[in-house]
Amino acid sequence: MFIIKVSARQASKNMAVPTSYMTTAFEPQELEIIITRVDDQSFRAGAVALTNSDYEFMEKVRRIVAQHLGKSEFNVVDLSTKMAMSPSSFYRRLKSITGQTSVEFVRNARLNLAANMLAVNGLCVSEVAYEVGFSDMKYFRKAFQKRFGQAPSAYARQHRNNSAADAPKQDQVK
């Protein structure tokens, strides 16, 4: 298992902040994929392994966020309430573990799911945006562009074309 924790102090010194966590045993190819998705950040010395309580905290947060991603009215106050914490305590703890604010964490979870849906499913951009809890298309496009460096429609075209090129052609299948 490969899990990294970076404190808020380290993040403020421009140290890399992990954007992905692996929760089970993994294949080396999975690790390569996650490392390439770390937005040109590299893990530096000083990062420490997550404690058991931090790991359990993050698992609970991920589970709650995953259950409510499709609800546009789901917000950080709801999340902190479900975690039985005050919003400010939740913010501090999440920020110290992930380097992200609670709003960024929820938004990035939604955007990651949207990117996956755009690449895999044949849904249009507006359908995906509403499925993952964005009610404002303009905001969704802007946030997606900022996170992935391209518009959602371009991302979908690129990843659908890549997966179509990787798929075996009918005459090659025997």
Please report, to the nearest 10 degrees, the dihedral formed by the alpha carbons of residues 59, 93, 68, 135 taken in order: -140
Mean pLDDT of 98-110: 92
Mean pLDDT of 106-135: 90
* Domain presence at residue 174: no
How many domains is the chain partitioned into structurally?
Answer: 1
* Domain presence at residue 173: no
Residue found by looking up tokens 């917000």 in the block: 75
Distance, C-alpha 46 to centroid of its chain: 23
Q: Do 120 and 56 touch, CB atoms closer than 8 A?
A: no
Residue 121 belongs to what domain range? 8-39+48-165
CA distances from 63 to 36, 56, 92, 157 (A): 24, 11, 19, 30
CATH number of the domain that residue 122 is part of: 1.10.10.60
Burial category of 115 from C-beta neighbours within 10 Å (exposed 0-12, middle 13-18, buried 19 and up): buried
* Domain presence at residue 2: no
Q: Which two tokens stand for residue 173?
A: 């299948």
**pTM over 0.75, yes/no:** no
pLDDT at residue number 42: 34
Segment 145-172, tens digit of pLDDT: 999 999 999 999 888 777 555 544 444 4
* Domain presence at residue 126: yes
* Domain presence at residue 114: yes
Q: Which two tokens stand for residue 82?
A: 């479900």
